[in-house]
Amino acid sequence: MPPHGKTTVPQEQLQTHIDRARKCLREVYGYAEFRPHQDEVIVHVMQGNSAVLVMPTGAGKSVCYQIPGLLRDGIGVVVSPLIALMQDQVDAMRQLGVRAYYQNSMQSAAEQNQVRELIQKGEVDLLYVAPERAVKPGFMQSLEGCDISLLAIDEAHCISQWGHEFRPDYRGLAMLRQAWPHVPCLAVTATADEPTRHDVAAQLGISRDDVFVTGFDRPNIQYTVLPKADARKQLMGFLASRRGEAGIVYCGTRKRVDSISQWLSDQGFEALPYHAGLNSETRARNQKRFLREDDVVMVATVAFGMGIDKPNVRFVAHLDLPKSLEAYYQESGRAGRDGEPAVAWLSYGLGDAVQIRQMIGEPSDEQTHRWTELRKLDQLIGYCESTGCRRNMLLGYFGESRDVGCGNCDTCLHPVETWDATVPAQMFLSCVRRTGERFGVGHIIDVLTGRETEKTQRYGHNQLPTWKVGEEYGSSDWRSISRQLVAMQLVGVEIAKYGSLRLNEASWEVLKGSRTVELKKETRKPTSKRSRAKAAAGIENPSDPQTALFERLRDLRASLAAEQNVPPYVVFHDRSLWDMVAQRPANLEDFAQVSGVGAKKLERYGEAFLQMLQDPE
Ligand code: ADP
Ligand code: ZN
């Protein structure tokens, strides 16, 4: 991050800010230490400075405005566009004993009046407000005569026309800045490229020197790509050890969403569908169940996910290719907001890539958008076919380069072995040539492996010199070889002609022996599941009694949450439950040491959990 030499304050004063902030983190939130950069930003704001903060999802942006909002005098105003989630955000703060309220258009007049009264009585610490409400004159009036401690703007990229989610209402927020020139403003977002960031700063009158960018890495997400074979079987293999966990399965079409969610339900999963073809009631109901329950698998098109900030989404699986690497970063990024281990799983087949290529169409010189789309597709295929670290490829896309592997993606965990495939590549290309460059992958493989079909007979391809020449490899080996040859563009795909293969310059180099071909071996062990929530609590491989106790605590959490009509994670995160299993606190004093147990939660839930820990039956 750039150095921030804005206001030079005495060292003692800085230390006081840091101490107060840490005390608040411990007492209110029950967390032992700040995450990287949180303290830096908090101290910057506590001194009265404004900033734009770009931090990846789950890194802990909210704390960065909540703590200064609580510690500075007056009301902290938080502008947040997600009305549907405002209630949950406010519930989570109330659970910590913070006097948080919200104002939005879904409230009745009576509710609005009640909040206004509390404001005037000085009984509000944090006030959440929707942007369309914040720009109405009534909102400013309701705060007349009040001290404002800070103005926080969540999802701040919405203010910029360069961003992909521009919201006209956000433009009006500049007005609040003018009305409160001495109030520090913290604009936070997880997605902002450079032009967007600078635009956000400019719109809010924040200096470019006060833009904090902490990187795009999501270290707790494990990236895995599988060459698509039998997608359902692969998905089941992936989900088998994840029963009871919340996750999202993205599919390319509505039809597939319906069939996959039905099939997962038949297999005993709490699977629900979500796509734009369902009526809004069903969508709202399914979304609510996903947010409120712990073990729902949402099977969805990309219509689902915008602004879903459920923290304990443990996996995001893609059964079909996303549109671009950028889209993949966003969609997979909905996993693991709580910082605990999560998996981004992608099943990738050459057929998908060919289909997308056909959908984009053959671009002519002037059709720049098609070229752009094709380039994006190639970057995505590059990611899928990579033999190097997947995280590094993803971060490279955002301009962050790294030399060493991350140790938490499939290629790092199980380094890819390569083999010299020059000879089979030559067989394959020669077969493409001998069959007249008119057929797709399937037929070429039939000829190479000598599989009699109606087509091989009709065209007399069983008479060719390449007939059965590739017998030593199975058809799945051939599928892997051909997919990689296409991905590496060592053979061309005719877009207009149903994906028939044709030779290109590179193919001829291989055929003539002036170019060798290194391909990946593709039989890999499945990646192991290791939860950092458990690991952090000192539990690597939970024994059955430990898991059983965790389940009991989870049930208790669910019933306490249901009583109050709040989502379970608002009561405690999984991390706290595992910490209880590991520490087995026997009294309130010990219980206070559990991660995520602040003063209020100790008072509210200590007894109930202690009792369960002592007598789980
Ligand atoms: P973001 O808004 O950046 O996506 P949040 O602010 O929602 O992320 O934080 C993600 C999770 O991490 C929340 O559950 C939050 O309580 C937790 N968290 C934030 N800061 C800390 C910390 N210093 N120590 C432990 N947990 C933290
Ligand atoms: Zn890696």
pLDDT-based confidence at 286, cuts 50/70/90? very high
Residue 414: nearest ligand to its CA? 2
- When mean pLDDT is compared across 87-91, 359-363, 384-388, the lowest value belongs to 359-363
CA distances from 302 to 306, 331, 442 (A): 9, 8, 30
Q: Give residue 131's Cα distance to chain centre.
A: 24
Kindly state the tokens that stand for 344. 């981004």
**Which residue from 297, 299, 319 is spatially nearest to 235, judged by alpha carbons?**
319
Residue 267: its pLDDT value, please? 94
Q: What is the mean pLDDT of the chain?
A: 88
pLDDT-based confidence at 528, cuts 50/70/90? very low
Residue 354: its pLDDT value, please? 77
241-261 in b/e burial notation, b at 16+ Cβ within 10 A? ebeebbbbbbbbebebbbebb
Kindly state the tokens that stand for 545. 């009694």
Beta bridge partners of 407: none
- DSSP letters spanning 488-510: TTSSEE-TTTTT-EE--HHHHHH
Give phi and psi for 70, each to the nearest 5: -80, -35
pLDDT at 248 over 90: yes
Give phi and psi for 237, each to the nearest 5: -60, -40
Instruction: Tell me the per-residue pLDDT of 26-39, one tens digit each, with 9 for 90 and over.
Output: 999 999 889 888 99
Residue 57: nearest ligand to its CA? 1
Instruction: Tell me the per-residue pLDDT of 173-193, one tens digit each, with 9 for 90 and over.
Output: 888 999 999 999 999 998 767
- How far apart CA 285 and CA 288 sit, in angstroms, is 5
Distance 340 CA to ligand 2 centre (A): 17
Q: Which CATH number fits domain 418-520: 1.10.10.10, 1.20.1250.20, 1.10.3720.10, 1.10.150.20?
A: 1.10.10.10
Is residue 42 within 8 A of residue 64, CB to CB? The reply is: yes
| Cβ–ligand 1 contact at 59 (below 6 Å) | yes
Distance 368 CA to ligand 2 centre (A): 33
| Cβ–ligand 1 contact at 572 (below 6 Å) | no
| Cβ–ligand 1 contact at 339 (below 6 Å) | yes
Distance 392 CA to ligand 2 centre (A): 7
Q: What architecture is domain 535-614?
A: Orthogonal Bundle (1.10)
Is residue 258 within 8 A of residue 289, CB to CB? The reply is: no
| Cβ–ligand 1 contact at 53 (below 6 Å) | no
- How far apart CA 499 and CA 259 sit, in angstroms, is 26
- DSSP letters spanning 163-176: STT--HHHHTHHHH
Whole-structure pTM over 0.75, yes or no? no
Distance 394 CA to ligand 2 centre (A): 10
Instruction: Tell me the per-residue pLDDT of 568-610, one tens digit each, with 9 for 90 and over.
Output: 889 999 889 999 999 999 999 999 999 999 999 999 999 999 9
Q: Is the C-alpha dihedral spanning 208, 209, 210, 214 positive or negative?
A: positive
pLDDT at 228 over 90: no
Q: Which CATH number fits domain 221-413: 3.40.50.720, 1.20.1420.20, 3.40.50.300, 3.40.50.150?
A: 3.40.50.300
Residue 65: nearest ligand to its CA? 1
pLDDT at 4 over 70: no
Domain with CATH 1.10.150.80 in the chain: 535-614
Distance 407 CA to ligand 2 centre (A): 5
| Cβ–ligand 1 contact at 567 (below 6 Å) | no
pLDDT at 323 over 80: yes
Residue 162: its pLDDT value, please? 62
Residue 427: its pLDDT value, please? 93
Domain with CATH 3.40.50.300 in the chain: 11-213, 221-413
Domain with CATH 1.10.10.10 in the chain: 418-520
Instruction: Look up tokens 């997880």; give the residue.
Output: 190
Distance 57 CA to ligand 2 centre (A): 19
Residue 540: its pLDDT value, please? 67
Q: Ligand 1, residues 31, 93, 309, 572: which to mutate, most atoms within 8 A of Cβ?
A: 31
The domain made up of 11-213 has a fold known as Rossmann fold (3.40.50)
Instruction: Tell me the per-residue pLDDT of 424-452, one tens digit each, with 9 for 90 and over.
Output: 999 999 999 999 999 988 899 999 999 99
**What is the atom index within ligand 1 of the atom nearest the CA of 62?**
6
**Residues, the chain:** 617
**What is the atom index within ligand 1 of the atom nearest the CA of 573?**
14
